[in-house]
Amino acid sequence: MSVSVRFMPDDVTIEAEVGEPLLTVAERAGIDIPTGCLMGSCHACEVDIEEIGELCSCISSVPPGYAQLTINLFSDPTW
């Protein structure tokens, strides 16, 4: 099942498949999400999915049950 994923504040929308890693979806969309540990511990890759809440994109994938998702990116200049 295809899900429409919108990255904000860049306002870039791309189609993704359920189960596809969020970092892979972002990369295909030309969106850079900073990463650190790649294990969800450092929270450098934390994003806010409007429909779900905050999570670490390095350990998360496109969830089932949604036709569209809006992902708000955080900006932390220390990373």
* CB of 73 closer than 8 Å to CB of 9: yes
Query: Per residue in 21-75, pLDDT tens?
Result: 999 999 999 999 999 999 999 999 999 999 999 999 999 999 999 999 999 998 6
Amino acid letter, 5: V
Enter the tokens of residue 44. Answer: 């450098």
Which helix H or strand E contains 56, and what residues bound it? strand 53-56
- What confidence tier does 12 reach under pLDDT thresholds 50, 70, 90? very high
The model's pTM is 0.89
* CB of 27 closer than 8 Å to CB of 11: no
